[in-house]
Chains A and B, each alone.
Chain A
């Protein structure tokens, strides 16, 4: 995939205003699929999680999953949307082998949720409001695997395999209104917007929200218009963006690519584009015109969805707080500095800290573990911190420190063992005999030995040079093989000096 010629980003911003729009698809983690009793599970043998309904067999009929409707309403409410008292499913007709019925049951002109607003926080703490046009329910398609071609795409493939396990998985598609004025923040806003949607669905517990598995998918629409021009430019829609980082990169790439073409007098083709993580570039997909004719019509096999006011209010009352609101509250509760808090947010570790604190660790201790030792280990292993350890496990290690059982060095050792899967912190402490020596007698004996070896130290301490104690403490810790509480050793050394 040859990389297109790109204009310098700052130069592009000088000449053009980027205009954005996002379509985020959220796969709901319901027990069963959108319109059938087939299990909604990731993985599994191909075509094992299917019923006649997901295969579109003759005579089969869809039945709406009530859990999916509840989840969709909750999501709509969390996005600040109005919930339609009556919304309707519609058929989107097109032929494609991953679409069992050759139509997708979606919602067209009567979505379940519409007209919302989401506050998105940028890394420097600025809040940008993104207007939501609609959120509608639909079913996912199956998955095609193209075999025998060089690219893994349908062009050039010898044959293709279809797996309908994903066919009929419930989706909510969230569509923003056109976003103006993002300017140089456009790439970051894209990332922050998707991260916010992810935070919302995770807080609601309605999606596993794992982008690498396609639970959360973002189509990013980007167009440029020359400074001073009223008319919007031609847009592209970038798909296959499977991580937050990719969202940011893809938008930045499209701005630079389009700017280069436009500045050379070229025209942008209205099309879908595929993001390639490896090359960091997009490539042309299928032309997409506004006249694409899906022959939508109301789905005659389903009745309109008419949630009661009581249900909507029940779900509204059960909503978790908005991400921005939650951040403000946590920052205040934890007493973090702006820098400390931003560090946590930007590392995407907020929920982990919440879990760690709620399991008994102090906020500062939780922060130090996650942004320090755990981040270091994750970085070295090229993995996500959240994949390594849970908040409860971290809190257990910290509680052992608080109880004086472990000192810092030992605690780091125990943490590594927990990450390595050797057991719980307490199990590891027991198995390795890692508790600090808390017998003052043993410590005093070791201190006396060390003081005898360094007779000038007591003199220096008495003269006020307290830092001289360090040499003795070091010797004692060594003698105790690290299993001593350095703070206690220091106290005892100072006591001896006063004696």
Chain B
């Protein structure tokens, strides 16, 4: 049975199509895997086997009557808890939304359902997607399947870990400054942040509206592309949604995987992403990947993006500013948690007490930061300047893409660190996003794929490719090209090399972090 969890979404789709398996069997296998390992990994905040199996049975019935909804009909999917769902709670990793049932589905969830995908559950995340380790979840951290003493990256550590631990073939994530790509790097999986506006944000609980983008997490480039094809495209509920007619990303990935596809490709290596901030193993594997690309006929050139040195600073003004406003709605009046005050209290007191009790420390830190940055007298110096930096970064990219097809960087500076290691050092945590943030500031697409294992610690690392806005298909093609070469070398996806982990008990170091308070198994 567990064999089925080792297959990619594309393989499962093929097996469902030729009748060698059923959606119920595939779904049950993943539910069994979740039951077996998620006590340790804690990738899921909520699973509902009954719902999943009912959806799987419905899919099988459609197959039987010759009317599947799509090629992926019946393939299971994990959903980041930032996306609202009508049949499962949506908390965005926060206590303030504990048990919140949305009356509507996020557009990407609707599209996944319309394609026949089977939701397995909601995945863990840093509270309101603020963090790079998933330790800021109000429901306890997720653990890295490669080493359960370590973080899975964040904010989408749950989706990445679920995919890496074979609890789901693929998952939905959201990426505001790297929340899809950095966990992919950390867990040896694939993560794609699409062009801003190419995937609907409707129903994605907003962190920073001008930076947020929903995207796919998977173990292979093709699976990410297949999921992107399902969720992408114009949505009238999202005013920032692009009306472009998008090509098939799966097609781009398939043709990119063909030998010779990399010939003549111009790859710009961003000179700013090197040096001592970057772990040796990260750079080693990065350079090896570049050599592989060159050997396959790509031209590698150095490119400078001088303004990206200000990216993290600008990002940590724009994000908190928008977040401080986006999170104002969590006030207990209409939904979510409500603190009670002795003697009743005024509405202001109840709002204040609710936010005091309902938000975690990182959320409060960013709300305070953002409120300050938007204040009269500071707006120009902070928010205004940050927006100018954003324009400069966009210009840097425009200039770079005038001479190269894609840019390449290591996805993040280091491999997975130990749980708790950076929890008291927000700046060290923020520095993790150094290479991923610029894509969000510029609205361009970025993909991270595994480039190998760092020799010094045996943990996976990733390479990131960036393309001009709207050129998402190019990224799938290039990433699939390199992936094919790497898979040939490894004999399959990197996740196949992940060591087995002890599922019996959480490891000792786990006790230094807050205990798991899962709502899993509810409803």
Contact = CB atoms under 8 A, between A and B. Distances in A.
A293 B376 contact: yes
B84 interface: yes
B325 A93 contact: yes
Interface in B197-252: 201-206, 208-210, 236-240
B371 interface: yes
A102 B327 CA distance: 9
A93 B372 CA distance: 13
Interface in A49-81: 52, 55-64
A359 B30 CA distance: 75
A58 B351 contact: no
Contacts of A64: 239
A421 interface: no
Contacts of B333: 97, 162
A274 interface: no
Contact of B335 (A57, A61, A91): A57
Nearest to B332: A97
Contacts of B202: 59-61
A102 B83 contact: no
A295 interface: yes
Contact of B100 (A58, A295, A300): A58
B390 to A, nearest CB: 12
Given A101-B328, A102-B328, A300-B209, A58 B374 contact: no
Contacts of B329: 56, 58, 100-102
Contacts of A103: 325, 328
Given A293-B376, A297-B383, A59 B322 contact: no
Contacts of A430: none
Contacts of B239: 61-64, 301-303
Interface in B303-331: 321-322, 324-325, 328-329, 331
A49 to B, nearest CB: 15
A160 B347 CA distance: 9
B348 interface: yes
B240 A301 contact: yes
A61 B239 CA distance: 8
Nearest to B82: A59
B376 A95 contact: no
A293 B375 contact: yes
B102 interface: yes
Nearest to A294: B376
Contacts, number: 101
Given A52-B104, A303-B240, A58 B334 contact: no
Nearest to B205: A58
Interface string B77-106: 000000110000010100001001011101
Nearest to B235: A61
B201 A61 contact: yes
Given A59-B204, A95-B351, A297 B328 contact: no
Interface centre among A91, A293, A301 (most CB of B within 10 A): A301
Nearest to A101: B329
A420 interface: no
A101 B325 CA distance: 8
A304 to B, nearest CB: 11
Contacts of B325: 91, 93, 103, 295, 297
A137 to B, nearest CB: 14
Contacts of A303: 239-240
B227 to A, nearest CB: 19
A58 B92 contact: yes
B322 A300 contact: yes
B93 to A, nearest CB: 12
B379 interface: yes
A291 interface: yes
A312 B304 CA distance: 45
Interface string B153-172: 00000000000000000000
27 contacts: A55-B335, A57-B335, A58-B97, A58-B100, A59-B83, A59-B102, A60-B202, A61-B206, A61-B237, A61-B238, A61-B239, A62-B239, A63-B237, A63-B238, A64-B239, A93-B324, A93-B328, A95-B351, A97-B331, A160-B347, A293-B375, A295-B325, A295-B375, A297-B321, A301-B209, A301-B240, A303-B239
In the A-B complex, the 6 residue pairs with the smallest Cβ-Cβ separation, listed nearest first, are A102-B328, A295-B374, A300-B209, A300-B210, A59-B203, A59-B84
Given A52-B104, A58-B205, A295-B379, 8 more contacts: A57-B103, A58-B100, A58-B335, A59-B104, A61-B206, A63-B239, A93-B374, A102-B329
Interface of B: 83-84, 90, 92, 97, 100, 102-104, 106, 201-206, 208-210, 236-240, 321-322, 324-325, 328-329, 331, 333-335, 347-348, 351, 371, 374-376, 379, 383
